[in-house]
Amino acid sequence: MGRMKINLLSFVIISLFCMAFVSASMVRSVPSSADGTFQVTYEVDNAGNWGASIVDTVSGGCKFPGGVTQLRTVMLSTDGNTKTVSVTVPSSGTCTFNGDYKFGTLPEVDFPDASVSISENNGNGNGTEIPYMWIAVAVGVLFLLIILKKK
C-alpha cells in the first residue's frame, strides 16, 4: 500500500509539472510601423521554472543584432518572462517576422507572422536622409566662386 501512495504522489507531481508546461505560451510583439531601430519583445505567461528556445526570421531588409536575419536564442525563467531584441531597419519597405518557440521537450509552436511597415527617410544612416553634407559643400563652393569673382 505504501508503494502505491508513492506512485500516486509521483503521478500527481509529474502531472502538475506537465500541466504547467502545457499551459505555457509565448507572444512576440512588434510595432505596426517604425521609422528607425525598433524593439521586438518576446513574453512568456508561465510561472515556475521553465526554459524555451526561440527561432525567429525577419525578411525585407531588417536585421537582428549582429546583422543577421535569423535569431536563435533561449529564455529561462531565472532571467524573467520578457526578452527584448533591437532590430535595425532598411530605408523603406516592410519587414516580416516568421518563427517559432518551444518549451522544453514540448512540440514547437509557430508565432503568428507579423509585419512592420518601415517609413522612408528614417534617418538611420543608410543614405536615405537629406544629404546635408552635399548642401554644405555646394554652399561652400558657391561662396568661394563669389569671393574669387570679386578679385
Q: What does the DSSP assignment read for 65-99?
A: TTTBSEEEEEEEGGG-SEEEEEEB--SSEEEEEEE
How far apart CA 68 and CA 148 sit, in angstroms, is: 52
Helix (H, G, I), strand (E, B) or coil at 116: strand
Helix (H, G, I), strand (E, B) or coil at 7: helix
pLDDT value, residue 140: 58
Tens of pLDDT, residues 37-88: 999 999 999 878 999 999 999 999 999 999 999 999 999 999 999 999 999 9
Name which CATH class applies to 25-150.
mainly beta
pLDDT value, residue 19: 40
φ/ψ bin of 80: left (φ > 0), alpha (ψ from -120 to 50), beta (otherwise): left
Return the higher-pLDDT residue of 16 and 70.
70
pLDDT value, residue 47: 79
Domain boundaries, the chain: 25-150
Return the higher-pLDDT residue of 3 and 40.
40
pLDDT value, residue 142: 60
| Percent of the chain surpassing pLDDT 90 | 56
**Position 9 confidence tier, pLDDT thresholds 50, 70, 90:** very low
Query: How many beta carbons lie within 10 A of that of residue 126, not counting itself?
Result: 13
Single pTM value for the model: 0.67
**Position 23 confidence tier, pLDDT thresholds 50, 70, 90:** low
